[in-house]
Amino acid sequence: MWHHCIVCSADLGVSEELEAFTIGNRLAFDAAKGRLWVVCPRCERWNLVPVEQRWEAVEALEGELERLAAAWREAEELAAISDNLILPKGWKAFKAYAKAAGATAPDRADPPAP
């Protein structure tokens, strides 16, 4: 299996980030074309991974991209919700009450009696 840069012959290193592909510490991935490169730590040229070594790594990276896209969508939904949050009048008093009650976060204390 190939482990050296095709330009400068430097060792590309080993990574344990992906079980399916352990060559190189920096990868470049084109999901649209299913291409994968290992970036050389010495000359920073991109080494195209031979197709026969690429498929399992591409599948793993596509799964990772799907997971990141789902996390991004969730973060965008939370950001959209937080844009519409309005703090009610008296929130400063509630925060002071919660702090005095020993809560580390205001949502962990009971609200003050009316």
Interface ranges with Zn ion (CB under 5 A):
5, 7-8, 10, 40, 42-43
User: Which residue, 23 or 40, is less far from Zn ion as judged by CB?
Assistant: 40
Asked whether 22 and 15 are in contact (CB, 8 A), the reply is yes
Nearer to Zn ion, 14 or 43 (CB): 43
In angstroms, the CA 44 to CA 59 distance is 24
- Least distance from C-beta 107 to Zn ion, angstroms? 53
The nearer residue to Zn ion, 47 or 61, going by C-beta atoms, is 47
- Best CA proximity match to 27, nearest among 68, 51, 55, 58: 58
Q: How far is the CB of 38 from Zn ion (least distance, A)?
A: 10
Burial grade of 61 (CB within 10 A; 0-12, 13-18, 19 or more): buried
Least distance from Zn ion to the Cβ atom of residue 41, Å:
8
